[in-house]
Amino acid sequence: MSIFLRDSYGASRLSARQILKDPLLLLAFGFGSGLSRVMPGTLGTVAALPLYWVLQQAEGWIYLPATLICIVAGVWICDEAAKKLQVHDYGGIVWDEIAGLLLTMCWVPFSWQSLLAGFVLFRFFDFLKPWPIGWLDRKVSGGFGIMLDDVVAGVFAASILRLWF
């Protein structure tokens, strides 16, 4: 038994190896970051950083469509992962955190300060779930529900960042 990894995941009791071998679960678990016992959501947000870095290096018109693709695909990815795990919104499913951070950083000029502020703000809203985020988290189910609370957290964080930067 590891202090970082669980013996099994979800009601279907999948192993870490099974998750890493399944392309859909590999994405849903943020390339393995969601396997952690400790702060999988925060580690999932960390897993978004390389993708963010690549996207913000690309032409400006690529970032938003790529983020929207992550969000739309995330509804399906999270829904299918929840079915495979037999648990709605299992903590290790962190694709929603990846999409949420990308959304947070939309229209914000890159700097390490803006990235750190965006990371902290997104985690703040995702963790505390102020209204309406918490209400959406409890009331909307399926892959759409898994994604929606993080998308709204990303919009809240992005709004503050836009005012700040």
Judge whether 7 lies within some domain: no
- Cα–Cα dist 149/138, whole Å: 9
The length of the chain is 165
Judge whether 1 lies within some domain: no
Range of the domain at 158: 16-164
Residues 6+ apart with CB under 8 A from 126: 41, 45, 97, 100, 133, 149, 150, 153
Judge whether 46 lies within some domain: yes
Q: How many domains does the chain have?
A: 1
pTM for this predicted structure: 0.95
Judge whether 56 lies within some domain: yes
Judge whether 75 lies within some domain: yes
**Averaged pLDDT, groups of 10, the chain, 165 residues long:** 82 97 98 96 97 92 96 98 96 98 94 97 97 95 97 98 90
pLDDT in tens, 88-131: 999 999 999 999 999 999 988 899 999 999 999 999 999 999 99
Judge whether 2 lies within some domain: no
At residue 107, the pLDDT reads 86
Instruction: Name residue 87's amino acid.
Output: V
